[in-house]
Amino acid sequence: GAVVSQHPSRVICKSGTSVKIECRSLDFQATTMFWYRQFPKQSLMLMATSNEGSKATYEQGVEKDKFLINHASLTLSTLTVTSAHPEDSSFYICSALGQGRNEQFFGPGTRLTVL
Amino acid sequence: KQEVTQIPAALSVPEGENLVLNCSFTDSAIYNLQWFRQDPGKGLTSLLLIQSSQREQTSGRLNASLDKSSGRSTLYIAASQPGDSATYLCAVPPSNQAGTALIFGKGTTLSVSS
């Protein structure tokens, strides 16, 4: 089956620092990747849609200058949380969609804790 | 705007019981519906994907049904085991299109005791 990895799996940082999270499709090319955020005991909420070679599309209420997304290749998308604050602490999950597929494959998630 | 609701929010059963998890969605024009499992602090594991033209899908002890007209899906788990303890999420695309993000319910947290 299709495998999606995320790195790091867990990160703790100080307030004001920037954190980069990588999402990779390991055995298929992902034309589209999605970034979700999940707060404790809540469901996953879409943050942005990332298409290879173009600018990401952000959901309403998600600051594009704070959550920088780069999808430079068909197997890698990165999410950078700039100037992180404690309220950005959350579980970030990416998913990838291959060409011609209608099923998303999810990464294992990244737990971000901002002190 | 598509909304997904899952009932119950939590469920505790003894080992061996058969159980049903419910999912409802407000816009019946969906492309497909997917059930996931999430263990605490972990990512999502896809369990079953039902296309809009299908009525059900089966995988092992799991059976998912889809009734588009009524906006409902059920996940049936037969002979539950302690290893089935997890949160089960239902998700649909926001419209009748492939290749879009998913809208998730809040999940049903299942606890199976031995």
Distance of residue B104 Cα from the nearest chain A Cα, in angstroms: 6
Chain A environment of B41 (Cβ under 8 Å): 91, 109, 111
Per-residue confidence at A40, pLDDT binned at 50, 70, 90? confident
Q: Rounded mean pLDDT of chain A?
A: 92
Q: Which residues of chain A are within 8 Å of residue B43 when distances are taken between CB atoms?
A: 6, 93, 106-109
Q: What is the mean pLDDT of chain B?
A: 94
CA of A22 to nearest chain B CA: how many angstroms apart?
A: 15
Q: Please compute the mean of the pLDDT values over residues A73-102 and round it to a whole number.
A: 91
* Coil, strand or helix at B71: coil
User: Is the bond into B8 cis (omega within 30 degrees of 0)?
Assistant: yes
- Total number of residues shown for chain A: 115
| DSSP per-residue codes, A8-33 | -SEEEE-TT--EEEEEEESSS-EEEE
Q: What is the pLDDT of residues B88-105, one digit of tens each?
A: 999 998 877 777 889 999
When CB atoms are compared, the residue of A6, A43, A97 closest to B104 is A43
- pLDDT-based confidence at residue A1 (cuts at 50, 70, 90): low
The whole-number average pLDDT for the span B49-69 is 95
Q: Nearest CA of chain A to the CA of B101: how many Å?
A: 7
Q: Which residues of B touch A43 (CB under 8 A)?
A: 89, 104-107
Whether residue B99 and residue A91 make contact (CB cut-off 8 A), yes or no, is no
- Mean predicted confidence (pLDDT) in A72-77: 90
pLDDT digits (tens, 9 = 90+) for A94-115: 999 877 677 788 999 999 999 9
Closest by CA position to A95, among listed A53, A32, A41, A45: A32
Asked if B46's CB is within 8 angstroms of A107's CB, the reply is no
State the pLDDT confidence band at B76, using cuts at 50, 70 and 90. Answer: very high
